[in-house]
Amino acid sequence: TAVVIDGKLMADEIRSVIADEVSRMKSAIGKVPRLAVILVGERKDSQTYVRNKIKACQEVGIMSVMTELPEDCAESEVLNAVSSFNENPAVHGILVQLPLPQHMDEEKILNVVSLEKDVDGFHPLNIGNLAMTGREPLFIPCTPKACIELLLRSNVEIMGKKAVVIGRSNIVGLPTSLLLQRHHATVSVVHAFTKNPEEITREADIVVSAAGVANLVRGNWLKPGAIVIDVGTNPVKDPDSEYGYSLTGDVCYEEAVKVASAITPVPGGVGPMTIAMLLSNTLDSAKRAYRFT
Ligand code: NAD
């Protein structure tokens, strides 16, 4: 059976290094990194994500500031919130929690986030630089970076391997496929229009699934010995849980664990590592702003 990749444990190790770096920065120059979060509307899942990110900041000594706006606010209010954080030199990272309400132009809003503070890595120039050989993005999106970090910390060689990414969203699938290519994998992308996704997936040494479909990837989709990174966090009804639902991955875990050589659990895999990458991006940004090495 597969080795379980303990994302929580690996993330804790990274967070402890970040905490040390933050305190080193504070004693050396009297400054700490600061993350600004903009939350629009009352989506429960978004509120939970934001709360977790802010708590994680606190635990490593990163300051945070949050702007909450009502669901029906004008787009200009969000743009103003972004602009004021852009201009504030004590803010090093700006995160606009997605999804935004329907009536807002997400592209327009993400475009105004200062490149130097784009700790989510969603600015088109950061994505563009990620896509181009020889260029360096200032920030790499947190979830894709988390997937690679989990592979590297599990001593998985990426170079020359066949990787399949399931999903091609701007925030997960697409940048993950770009990042795997930067690490010299041969990458195929499977999406909702792909015919015979199981055949393509079965060729892969490394499978990253970010489709948002519970139990999509069955055991017979996997090549024996494959490494499986499950990004999916899909709510499924669970009467035993406090909230009436629990989270499950894209991968049918009970089947996959018998075929794969390593696999991330949900929860406890990609999720905690994603938050660690956000903290890491925010620390890097503050270091860059203060020229602190
Ligand atoms: P999305 O809905 O924007 O994109 C889904 C992608 O999967 C699309 O490109 C679509 O073509 C593809 N897809 C959908 N159904 C498919 C199918 N049956 N077969 C193959 N491909 C299919 O979703 P997203 O924002 O990229 O998120 C994907 C999943 O990852 C969700 O479950 C989300 O909750 C989770 N997520 C987790 C983290 C984390 O930190 N763990 C972060 C972000 C997203």
Written as six digits, the tokens of 111 are 């475009």
Encode 76-85: b = buried (16+ Cβ within 10 Å), e = exposed.
eebbebbeeb
Written as six digits, the tokens of 19 are 């905490």
Residues 191/115, Cβ–Cβ less than 8 Å: no
In whole angstroms, give the CA distance from residue 148 to residue 131.
Answer: 16
Residue 233 has pLDDT above 90, yes or no: yes
Q: What is the ipTM of this complex?
A: 0.99
pTM given for the model: 0.97
Written as six digits, the tokens of 180 are 């795997």
**Which among 60, 85, 261, 244 has a CA at the least distance from the CA of 157?**
261
Residue 242 has pLDDT above 90, yes or no: no
Residue with tokens 């181009």: 132
Q: Distance, CA 210 to ligand 1 centroid (Å)? A: 4
**Ligand 1 contact, 143 CB (< 6 A):** yes
Model confidence over 69-95: pLDDT tens digits?
999 999 999 999 999 999 999 999 999
**Ligand 1 contact, 7 CB (< 6 A):** no
Q: Distance, CA 21 to ligand 1 centroid (Å)? A: 33
Instruction: Provide, rounded to the nearest whole percent, the portion of the chain with pLDDT above 70.
Output: 100
Q: Distance, CA 20 to ligand 1 centroid (Å)? A: 34
Residue 23 has pLDDT above 90, yes or no: yes
CB count within 10 Å of CB 104 equals 19
Model confidence over 139-150: pLDDT tens digits?
999 999 999 999
- Name beta bridge partners: 221: none
